[in-house]
Amino acid sequence: MIVSALGALGLLAAFAAQMARWLRVLQREHYEPASMRRFLGRWTSPPVAAASAPVRSRDRRPITLSHVLVVVLISALVLRSVVLVVLCTIVYGLFAPVGLGVRGRTGALRFTPRLRAIALSASVIGLVLGLLGALSARGFLMGAAVVWAVPMLLELSTRALGPLERRRARGFVASAQQRLERVGPLIVAITGSYGKTSTKNHLVQLLGAEDVVASPASFNNQMGLARAINENLADATRIFVAEMGTYGPGEIRALCVWCPPRIGVVTAIGPVHLERMGSLDVIEQAKFEITERAETLVLNVDDTRLAGWVARLQAAGKKVVPVSTRAGAQARVIVSGSGPWRVVVEGVALGEFGPVDGVQPSNVACALGAALELGLVPEHVMDGLARVTGVAHRAQVSVAASGVRVIDDTFNANPASAEAALRALFSLAGPGRRVVVTPGLIELGRLQYAENLSLAQKVRARGGELIAVGRTNAAALRAGADGRLVRVDRREQAVAWVRENLHEVDAVLYLNDLPDHYP
């Protein structure tokens, strides 16, 4: 009896520990049900590598405990040893996957109503299955199975509660829609694979008016946008700038139904979220939805896909405002140059501006195109540009107490922003070492290995040094660096290395920063 009670308590503790781990992953991945399978695979299977670039053991997923336990579990089942199965399951539940902690280092659980509902649902399903197992001669086997199946239980619960969550969200959306209708602001919607938040902030800076309100931070999905409107839209708001993101077709269209933009801005089409969407064509299709309601479209025609939209939209009766960073381009707004940026509007040079740390000329051009449509006159453009500053954690340059120059580009890196950050690092004047600290780029689907391989090759070709953080992209980064890199498990270890090894003449780029639910 005592042994049975201890076994039951151990399984309950193991179940609770697994719930804490995987609920945090689910919440960090915005409650996407399929994230459970993706991240279970990330923590338990080796990374994808090219045949010519074998994965070193240190770059593999943690296998010191979880994989051994799987082998022991299978052996125990073959030997029909219930005690061994239970012991193996308890150890797994409490300690595995190794590295995915019960308490997060970079983000703890937030016990929102949605999280509590999913946790309760998964716990009830697990309890019912456990009780049903208890009625059989081998009840502990069912209890053990429930512990191993926690990610799948959470996926099932999230899917089952999806209709209730959507019904709850409709109330917040209806409130936001009513507020928009009552206040009646002119709505500018900004989307793109990257550059959305920066372009939104630059637009607000250019306009410099108190009656302009923008959605904060990256509040760019349905609930985030509704919250931004309900909490921030003042009665005197004249212009509302809405950042709109998407994980798939239909989402931007749904946002535009209740938050209809007069002006739409599209910054770029790229492989961000390719893991979820599958192809660049699907990404383009999802972004194109913003054109359905907008009367005027500001497009970055440096992007070949967006350049292809111009004739199509004009044929549909839309007003198109092309912007570019290429001198002499066929565009209403041009922000070009490698030194000071030359600003040209409708063929007239207005002056020079920048460069500004953390600011990309393409985002400035997009923001300026929208600002002109909102009434900013060319005579005031340069005054507005003087207010433009970088966004936190986007290629901002500072000097540490040691004298080391630090470029902080830790927010949402993508292939285009990574290249811009590398240019910023290697364009810094003076001698000294140039070091890139990065976990690599993520959510690039089938392109992820190649993009991270290319990233490391670019660092090496420019004479830089690479510190790879974590295992997620370590194999690709090591291959691209030809094995010449420093590999650490956590960013804190990389920071310690920088403090110990770099000096006043040196510079370091912190490129991207993955939360700790990534291996």
| CATH number assigned to the domain comprising residue 247 | 3.40.1190.10
**Which of residues 127, 160, 193 is at a domain's end?**
160
Q: How many CB atoms lie within 10 A of CB 192?
A: 27
- Measure the CA–CA gap between 355 and 360, rounded to whole angstroms: 8
What's the pLDDT at 450? 94
Please tell me whether residues 217 and 354 are part of one structural domain: yes
Could you count the other beta carbons within 10 Å of the beta carbon of residue 315? 8
**In terms of domains, do 119 and 176 share one?**
no
Report the alpha-carbon distance of residue 39 to residue 383 in Å, rounded.
Answer: 48
Q: How many whole angstroms separate alpha carbon 225 and alpha carbon 260? A: 12
* Pair 327, 205 in one domain: yes
Q: H or E element: which one contains 431?
A: none
| Any domain includes 517 | no
Which tokens sit at 38?
Answer: 């993706």
| CB-based contact 491:65 (threshold 8 Å) | no
In a domain, 391, yes or no: no
In a domain, 464, yes or no: yes
Whether residue 146 is found in the same domain as residue 42:
yes
Tokens 């904060």, located at residue: 216
Question: Which residue, 335, 350, 385, sits at the end of a domain?
Answer: 385
Q: Please, which residues bridge with residue 348 across strands?
A: 345
39 & 143 share domain:
yes
Domain boundary pick from 350, 385, 420: 385
Look-up: residue for tokens 């076994």? 7
Position 21 scores a pLDDT of 95
User: CA 388, 392, 395 angle in degrees (round to 5)?
Assistant: 85
Domain span including residue 451: 396-511
Same domain, 119 and 151: yes
Counted domains in the chain: 3
Strands (E), 410-502: 434-438, 465-469, 486-488
Can you tell me the distance from the alpha carbon of 195 to that of 191, in angstroms, rounded to the nearest whole number? Answer: 8
Q: Judge contact between 444 and 516, C-beta under 8 A.
A: no
In a domain, 322, yes or no: yes
Rounded distance, CA 272 to CA 413, Å? 9
Is the domain of 141 the same as that of 254? no
Of 497, 356, 491, the closest CA to residue 435 belongs to 497
370 in a structural domain: yes
In tens digits, the chain (519 residues) has pLDDT values of 676 778 788 999 999 999 999 999 999 998 999 999 999 988 887 544 443 444 444 554 444 456 566 666 676 666 677 778 888 889 889 998 888 988 888 878 899 999 999 999 999 999 888 877 766 656 678 888 899 999 999 999 999 999 999 898 899 999 999 999 999 999 999 999 989 999 999 999 999 988 999 998 778 889 999 999 999 999 999 999 999 998 889 999 999 999 999 999 999 998 887 888 888 999 999 999 999 999 999 999 999 999 999 999 999 999 999 999 999 899 999 999 888 999 999 999 999 988 888 889 999 999 999 999 999 999 999 999 999 988 777 777 889 989 999 999 888 778 988 998 999 899 898 899 999 999 999 988 889 999 999 999 999 999 999 999 999 999 999 999 998 999 999 999 999 999 999 999 999 999 999 999 998
CATH number of the domain that residue 489 is part of: 3.90.190.20
In a domain, 87, yes or no: yes
SS3 516: coil
C-alpha distances (whole Å) from 78 to each of 85, 134, 143, 149, 394 are 10, 21, 18, 20, 54
> Per the structure block, which two tokens stand in for 163?
């209709």
- The stretches of 150-221 forming alpha helices (DSSP H) are 150-160, 162-183, 196-207
366 and 400 together in one domain: no
Two structure tokens written together for 310: 């111009």
**Paired residues of 343 in beta bridges:** 335, 351
182 with 156, same domain? no
**Confidence at residue 79, expressed as pLDDT on a 0 to 100 scale:** 62
Are 221 and 128 contained in the same domain? no
- What's the rounded Cα separation, in Å, for the pair 77 and 281? 47
Tell me which residue has tokens 């600003």. Answer: 343
Q: Which residues contact 363 (CB under 8 A, 6 or more apart)?
A: 195, 198, 199, 202, 267
Query: In this structure, is residue 390 part of a structural domain?
Result: no
56 and 142 belong to one structural domain:
yes
Confirm if 395 and 389 have CB atoms less than 8 A apart: no
Whether residues 115 and 60 fall in one domain: yes
pLDDT on residue 134? 65
R_g of the chain, CA atoms, integer Å: 26
**Residue 518 domain-assigned (yes or no):** no
Position 19 scores a pLDDT of 97
d(CA 511, CA 519): 17
